[in-house]
Chains A and B, each alone.
Chain A
Amino acid sequence: MRSFGVSLITRWRDSGPIHTLQTTALLHEAYVRLVYQSRPSFKNRSHFLAVAAKAMRQILVDHARTARRQRRGAGVSKVDLDEAALISPEQSGVILNLNDALERLASLDSRAAQGVELRYFGGLNQDEIAEVLKVSTVTVRRDWVFSKAWLYRELGGVA
């Protein structure tokens, strides 16, 4: 589990959206949450990847919400400010808007939304997404093309 988790960290860093956030700290937090705190039992590798993607999404959203609260001037300790600095105010907006748009997509097309979550937050490639969702890679690609257009409209072309 540990070695798989470490390779997952590499995957996130290399493929996910967070490398522009320079978030070694976030990666480690995700790893700790996933492996040590939640202690889920994973049925198989696909299950693990799916849970990991969801965990990373939640961590980013949590940090983005913290960053937004900072901006609104809530009284916070220095420690909270340091944590919030991992995500800039601009990127907190991007993450939260994307998260909201994904939730709306999920209410209409859960498979497509999950594909976006796996790809964007988990850094999974097409074949891995197909394995998790138990569909063909053609379906994964088509879902992604459509989801991207949908998100582009929802997010006003900014992300």
Chain B
Amino acid sequence: MTPAQLQTIKEIFHRALDCEPDKVSAFLQTACRGDQVLRCEVDAFLTAHREAGNFIEAPTIGHYKISESIGTGGMGEVYLATDIVAGRNAALKLLPLRFTGDAARLKRFEQEAHAVVALNHPNIVTVYEIGEDHPIHYIASELIEGETLRQHLTREQMELIEAVDVAIQVASALAAAQPQHPGRPKLAAAVRSIDNSLPPTNAYHAAIPRPPLRARLQHRGIRANAPELLRHRQDRCQSIQQQILYLAELRPLFRHSA
């Protein structure tokens, strides 16, 4: 094929696309002037155009179409994606390719994913799916808008009542994530007692930097990162009261990093 021939095909191709569907055949008959080779080529391009769809456009992993990177997590990069099937946005975390061949790391990725997918709590990010689109392993979860607590606290101090609200929600999430944990009855009791003594508060954007719980909030409340909750260890956790005081900056407990 010569460049000139390709240009002829291209021109007829575009003019065919501009036609109404029921007029394409007649148009091609005229445009190709009986040249069957030319007609075959144009037909092939039109067929390819119909079939190509998202070919080499935004990559899809499984049934998720990736839009952009939204951050780097501990176990890989996180992307904003659209669930083509469900028609909703999702956060897609991908296990780095270099770990795909690492059996131990892959197993840990899958174990953690399976542990969190079963959690269903208003203060825990919902995991939609754990999947594989060879060779890429992914976790698809609810997409949360808003800032982290760390971001919030670098901007402004927290009122005590706000700190209590944060602590209640995170403790509730923690209790749900670790139902077998020996500390759970105490946490649940602390949550109930605090909750009953306070008027309802509006949720806001914040999260807890330390102890080792991180949460990302959205406008209707705190959503904790479930893997973080599962890794949380009671022996390192301060009491609810201490957490509240820390958040309100009445008594700093940790040297928290920015």
Contact = CB atoms under 8 A, between A and B. Distances in A.
Interface string A114-149: 000000100000000000000000000010011011
Nearest to B60: A20
Contacts of B44: 153
A6 to B, nearest CB: 14
B56 A98 contact: yes
Interface stretch (B2-10, B144-152, B157-165): B2-10
Interface stretch (B23-31, B91-99, B103-111, B177-185): B91-99
A120 B51 CA distance: 19
A4 to B, nearest CB: 19
Interface stretch (A35-43, A45-53, A84-92): A84-92
B114 interface: no
Q: A87, A112, A146: which has the most chain B beta carbons within 10 Å?
A: A146
Interface residues of A, number: 31
A30 interface: no
Interface string B53-77: 0011101010000101100000011
Contacts of B52: 148-149, 152, 157
Interface stretch (A11-19, A54-62, A70-78): A11-19
B69 A13 contact: yes
Contacts of B134: 90
Nearest to B14: A142
Contacts of A109: 3, 6-7, 10
Nearest to A120: B56
Contacts of A85: 97-98, 101
B96 to A, nearest CB: 5
A137 to B, nearest CB: 15
Nearest to B6: A108
Give the top 8 A-B pairs by smallest Cβ distance, nearest first.
A149-B48, A14-B68, A152-B52, A149-B49, A152-B48, A108-B6, A85-B98, A20-B59
